[in-house]
């Protein structure tokens, strides 16, 4: 029988996964991966099955990680996400978590745009740590994503977007997520984006301050290639600040919509 083991095709006389792995494993603690799933269940082997044997707690090779992610996401979905390029504008509470969720979901290329540095007030809701204080958000987030999946292509732009340079950033992007803090920046992007990218989807956010009332945060289609996530009314103000849970709910709406649209678009082609 011919199978693929640790990235190379080999011939084996063994009929079950347990027999095969016991013949190559050096430690009982090693992780056994069969067609993307980590399992020590004794399974019957089939022609062209893909197996990996990896030391526990060690970063697997690219092929093994790819196989695991593909199996977790289902191969067809994973393959579509891997081809996609998504931009995230603003890397605060919304944007930092959107980017991380997309990285974990297997988006092939991320463009991360922000001009600001990390401050102590950011730590209540943004995906940074004390060690990141004073660093540019772009650089800290790129580093964090590399720790999650070093094989994702991450391009950073440490710059402020305005109506004069907006046309430079989003060529070849499938979807763009707006995650700015200020209402002025949100309005600027929403009003100018489709002048330059009429066929690219823009996902914005509005209304996510405070806590509670989780189900009021929704995803709405506003116009062709334009969506809004949030409750549309809960702005940050004294007594109603931005807090991690509700910000993360909205970020998850935006990231989840990215996945839905990318897979849905492929299914309708």
> For the chain, which domains are there?
2-73 (3.10.20.30), 77-268 (3.40.50.720)
Q: What is the pLDDT of residue 266?
A: 55
Mean pLDDT for the stretch of residues 192-220 = 96
- pTM, rounded to two decimals: 0.88
Sheet holding 85-89, edge to edge: 153-157, 109-113, 85-89, 175-178, 201-205, 226-230, 218-223
- pLDDT (tens digit, 9 = 90+) per residue, 86-141? 999 999 999 999 999 999 999 999 999 999 999 999 999 999 999 999 999 999 99
Question: Are the C-beta atoms of residues 106 and 217 closer than 8 Å to each other?
Answer: no
Q: Is 34 helix (H, G, I), strand (E, B) or coil?
A: strand
Question: In this structure, is the dihedral angle defined by the CA atoms of residues 172, 177, 180 and 183, taken in order, positive or negative?
Answer: positive
Over residues 177-189, mean pLDDT: 95
Distance CA 85, CA 260 (A): 14
pLDDT digits (tens, 9 = 90+) for 44-77: 999 999 998 888 888 888 888 888 888 788 888 9
If you average pLDDT over every residue of the chain, what do you get?
Answer: 93
Residue written as token pair 């990141």: 132
Among 79, 91, 72, residue whose Cα is nearest residue 33: 72
């Amino acid at each position: 029988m011919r199978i693929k083991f640790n990235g190379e095709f080999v011939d084996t006389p063994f009929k079950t996964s347990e027999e095969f792995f016991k013949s190559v494993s050096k430690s009982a603690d090693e992780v056994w991966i069969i067609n993307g799933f980590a399992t020590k269940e004794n399974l019957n082997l089939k022609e062209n099955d893909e197996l990996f044997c990896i030391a526990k707690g060690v970063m697997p090779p690219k092929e093994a990680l790819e196989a695991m992610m593909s199996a977790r996401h289902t191969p067809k979905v994973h393959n579509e996400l891997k081809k996609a390029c998504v931009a995230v504008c603003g890397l605060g509470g919304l944007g930092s978590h959107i980017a991380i969720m997309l990285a974990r979901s297997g988006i092939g290329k991320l463009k991360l745009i922000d001009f600001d540095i990390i401050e102590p007030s950011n730590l209540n809701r943004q995906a940074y740590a004390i060690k990141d204080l004073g660093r540019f958000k772009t650089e800290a987030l790129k580093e964090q994503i590399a720790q999650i999946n070093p094989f994702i292509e991450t391009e950073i732009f440490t710059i402020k977007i305005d109506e004069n340079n907006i046309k430079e950033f989003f060529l070849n992007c499938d979807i763009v997520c707006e995650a700015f803090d200020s209402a002025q920046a949100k309005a600027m992007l929403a009003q100018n984006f489709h002048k330059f990218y009429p066929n690219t989807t823009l996902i914005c956010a509005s209304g996510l301050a405070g806590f509670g009332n989780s189900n009021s945060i929704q995803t709405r289609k506003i116009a062709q290639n334009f969506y809004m996530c949030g409750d549309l009314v809960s702005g940050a103000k004294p007594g109603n600040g931005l807090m991690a849970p509700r910000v993360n709910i909205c970020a998850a709406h935006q990231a989840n919509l990215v996945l839905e649209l990318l897979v849905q678009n492929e299914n309708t082609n």
